[in-house]
Amino acid sequence: MTAFEHELASVMPRLRRFAHGLSRDATDADDLLQATAERMLRARAQWEPGTNFVAWSYRIMRNLWVDTARARQRHTSVLAPEEEGLAIGMSGAAEASVELGYLMRAMERLPDEQREAVALVMIEGLGYAEAAGVLDIPAGTLTSRLVRGRQALRAMLENAS
């Protein structure tokens, strides 16, 4: 048995406890333990004998758990109200109109100067210099209004979901 294999065998009970502490679920803990052992075996060349094997293994497990938790959060997050989920399978145009409706309501709440800048650049596709000319303002002022408008829209759309 190599030094690595000896260290791995000796740390498994501690990793099992740590996995249970992280996941609070026996099945998830077993999956996490297995994934950690697999990752450690693939990365065995990165471990240097004489270094803290336990700390290295805990770090691998914790990183795997964080990745798992993030993935679960993305899968369980609600991106739209339930009634819109009932419309799954609608044509792409109908789904786009729902999103466009959110955007248009948010645009209506922007101050006039921000709404104009956002509409000219993001909706009409004008360049910054061209949009600044249309509004008769310096390009820097247009950029400032556009940044504030985009931030406000993003915040409103995130709060709507």
**What residues of the chain score a pLDDT lower than 50?**
78, 80, 85-90, 92, 94-95
Q: What integer pLDDT is reported at residue 144 of this predicted model?
A: 94
Contact 20, 29 (CB under 8 A): yes
18 CB burial (10 A radius; 0-12, 13-18, 19+):
buried
Residues 153/118, Cβ–Cβ less than 8 Å: yes
3-state class of 43 per DSSP? coil
CB 58 within 8 A of CB 64: no
Evaluate whether the domain defined by 3-76 bears CATH number 1.10.1740.10. yes
Predicted structure pTM score: 0.48
What is the domain partition of the chain in residue ranges?
A: 3-76, 92-160
Q: Do domains 3-76 and 92-160 have the same CATH topology?
A: no
Ordered DSSP codes for 9-40: HHHHHHHHHHHHHHHSSHHHHHHHHHHHHHHH
% of the chain at pLDDT higher than 90: 27
Residue 92's identity, in one-letter code, is: G
CATH number of 92-160, picked from 1.10.645.10, 1.10.10.10, 1.20.1250.20, 3.40.630.30: 1.10.10.10
Structure confidence by residue, pLDDT tens digits, 39-77: 999 999 998 888 889 889 988 988 898 888 888 776 665
Secondary structure of the chain: what % helix, strand, coil (to 5)?
80, 0, 20
